[in-house]
C-alpha cells in the first residue's frame, strides 16, 4: 500500500483518508503488540483516531490512548511501546488531517518502514485491547528535570494548537513570567493560521514589544515547530534558530535538508538530506550527528530524542536568551536573500524536461530534487510529494541577482 507524505499521510478530509487510516492501523497492528495513540484538537481528529484504533486492535495490537497532546508528547510516550501514532495535520488548514508514525527512540517512521507495512485482520481471540495512558505528565516531568530556573519575561503563542496544554504551564513552573496568546485549543485556529510564519505572528510581535518581553515563542498546531521573536521584535526563522543553536551550543556538524540556508555553513559542517524531519532524524542516527533541523522550524537534539520537540527547543532557546543578547548574536550573521515560489503543472514529464534544460550547465546535487551551486549562492527545484507542483528556492548574497535568477527559472518552467 502506498502512503503519501513524510512518515505518514496528510490530506483534506475525505472518505479516502478514513480508508487509509483503517488500513494503516491494521497493518501496524499486525507487527506491534503495544501502540500509543493521540491526536491534536482538529474537528476531525476524534473520528480519525477511532478508525485508526479499530484497525490497530483488529490487527492484534493493544492501544494506549494518550489524549489530545502535542506531537512530541506522543513521540516521548512511544519509548514504552512498539510504536506511536499521532493524528495531526501539523500546520495545515483546519480541513486537513493526517497520521504520523513514531519509533520508540522518538524518530519518525522511515519510507522503508512504511513501505513494509502489510497485514490482515487477526483471529477474534487475538484482537487488541483499549487502555488509557497519561502521556502528558510523563513528558512534562521529563522536561522539568532537564531545565532550571528561567528568569525571563516571555510571550507564548500556541496558534490555538496542542502546545496550549503544556508550553505556558512549564514555562511558568520554571519561573518565567508568561503572557499567553492563542493558547486556548481550537481545531479551527481562530487566532491565525497554524503555521508560525512571520506573516501570521504580527500580534505576537506587537505583544512582545508592548509588554517589553525578553522573548516571543510561537508553535504550530501540533507543537513540532518552534520559531521566535526577539525583544526588539525581530522574527527569527527556522534557519536563524538552527544557526544560533549551532553557534552558541558549539555543534560542529548538523543535519539539514537541501532547502536550508547556506547561513548554516558559517557555523558548522552541514550534512544535507531530503526534506522532512523523518529524513533529518534518520541521517542523524546513521551518521551519529547530535543536532539537526529544518527551516520550517523543527529542531532535533539527539541527546534528548530523535523527535522535533518544539517544547524542548523553546526551553533550550530560552536558556540561551537568559544569558545572551540574541539580537547582538544575529547582528553578526551574514545576510542572504532567500526567495521561494511554487508552480503547478499538469504534465510531470514535460516539467522534468524543462528542469533538465535549466540545470544542464550547473553543478547539481540530486539528494532531493535538483540543487544547483552558483558562484555566490544556490537554487533548488524539487517536486512536491503531495501536490502537482514544484517548489523553487533561490538563495544568493545579492538580492537583485537572486530575483533575476528566480525570474529566469519561472520563465523557463511556466506552462
Contact of 60 with 128, CB cutoff 8 Å: yes
Q: What is the C-alpha separation between 414 and 270, in angstroms, rounded?
A: 32
User: At 351, which helix (H) or strand (E)?
Assistant: helix 348-359
The answer to whether 90 is a known catalytic residue is yes
Contact of 85 with 31, CB cutoff 8 Å: no
User: Can you give the three-state secondary structure of 360-383, one letter per residue?
Assistant: CCCEEECCCCEEEEECCEEEEEEE
* Residue of 219, 222, 6 lying closest to 101 (CA atoms): 6
Q: What are the backbone angles phi and psi of residue 154, rounded to the nearest 5°?
A: -130, 140
Q: What is the DSSP string of 280-338?
A: HHHHHHHHT-SEEEETTTEEEETTT-SS--HHHHHHHHHHHHHHS-HHHHHHTS---EE
Contact of 168 with 156, CB cutoff 8 Å: yes
Residue 164: DSSP 8-state: G
Q: Looking at 90, 164, 167, 231, which residue is catalytic?
A: 90
For residue 176, the Cα-to-chain-centroid distance in whole angstroms is 25
Classify residue 294 by burial, with Cβ atoms within 10 Å: 0-12, 13-18, 19+. Answer: buried
Q: What is the C-alpha separation between 106 and 84, in angstroms, rounded?
A: 9
Q: What is the C-alpha separation between 249 and 143, in angstroms, rounded?
A: 19
Active site residues: 90
Amino acid at each position: 500500500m502506498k502512503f503519501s507524505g513524510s512518515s505518514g499521510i496528510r490530506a483534506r478530509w475525505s472518505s479516502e483518508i478514513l480508508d487509509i487510516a483503517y488500513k494503516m492501523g491494521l497493518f501496524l497492528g499486525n507487527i506491534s503488540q503495544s501502540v500509543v495513540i493521540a491526536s491534536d484538537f482538529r474537528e476531525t481528529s476524534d473520528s480519525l483516531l477511532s478508525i485508526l484504533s479499530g484497525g490497530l486492535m483488529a490487527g492484534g495490537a493493544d492501544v494506549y490512548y494518550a489524549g489530545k497532546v502535542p506531537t512530541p508528547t506522543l513521540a516521548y510516550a512511544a519509548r514504552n511501546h512498539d510504536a506511536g501514532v499521532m493524528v495531526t495535520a501539523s500546520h495545515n488548514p483546519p480541513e486537513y488531517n493526517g497520521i504520523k508514525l513514531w519509533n520508540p527512540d522518538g524518530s519518525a517512521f522511515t519510507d522503508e518502514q512504511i513501505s513494509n507495512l502489510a497485514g490482515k485482520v487477526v483471529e477474534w481471540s487475538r484482537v487488541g485491547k483499549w487502555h488509557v495512558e497519561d502521556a502528558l505528565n510523563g513528558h512534562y516531568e521529563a522536561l522539568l528535570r532537564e531545565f532550571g530556573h528561567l528568569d525571563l519575561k516571555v510571550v507564548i503563542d500556541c496558534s490555538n494548537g496542542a502546545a496550549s496544554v503544556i508550553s505556558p504551564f512549564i514555562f511558568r513552573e520554571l519561573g518565567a513570567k508568561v503572557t499567553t496568546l492563542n493558547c486556548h485549543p481550537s481545531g479551527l485556529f481562530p487566532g491565525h493560521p497554524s503555521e508560525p510564519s512571520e506573516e501570521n505572528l504580527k500580534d505576537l510581535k506587537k505583544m512582545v514589544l508592548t509588554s517589553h518581553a525578553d522573548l516571543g515563542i510561537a508553535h504550530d498546531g501540533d507543537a513540532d515547530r518552534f520559531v521566535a521573536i526577539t525583544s526588539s521584535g525581530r522574527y527569527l526563522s527556522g534557519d536563524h534558530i538552527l544557526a544560533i543553536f549551532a553557534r552558541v551550543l558549539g555543534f560542529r556538524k548538523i543535519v539539514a535538508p537541501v532547502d536550508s540556508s547556506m547561513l548554516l555553513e558559517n557555523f558548522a559542517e552541514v550534512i544535507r538530506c531530503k526534506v522532512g524531519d523523518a529524513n533529518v532524524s534518520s541521517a542523524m542516527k546513521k551518521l551519529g550527528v547530535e543536532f539537526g533541523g529544518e527551516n520550517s522550524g523543527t529542531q532535533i537534539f539527539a541527546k534528548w530524542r530523535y523527535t522535533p520537540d518544539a517544547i524542548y527547543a523553546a526551553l533550550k532557546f530560552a536558556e540561551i536568551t537568559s544569558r545572551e543578547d540574541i539580537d547582538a548574536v544575529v547582528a553578526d550573521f551574514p545576510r542572504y536573500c532567500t526567495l521561494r515560489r511554487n508552480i503547478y503543472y499538469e504534465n510531470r514529464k514535460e516539467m522534468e524536461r524543462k528542469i533538465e534544460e535549466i540545470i544542464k550547465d550547473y553543478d547539481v546535487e540530486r539528494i532531493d530534487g535538483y540543487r544547483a551551486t552558483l558562484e555566490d549562492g544556490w537554487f533548488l527545484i524539487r517536486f512536491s510529494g503531495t501536490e502537482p507542483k514544484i517548489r523553487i528556492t533561490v538563495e544568493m548574497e545579492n538580492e537583485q541577482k537572486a530575483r533575476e535568477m528566480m525570474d529566469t527559472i519561472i520563465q523557463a518552467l511556466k506552462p
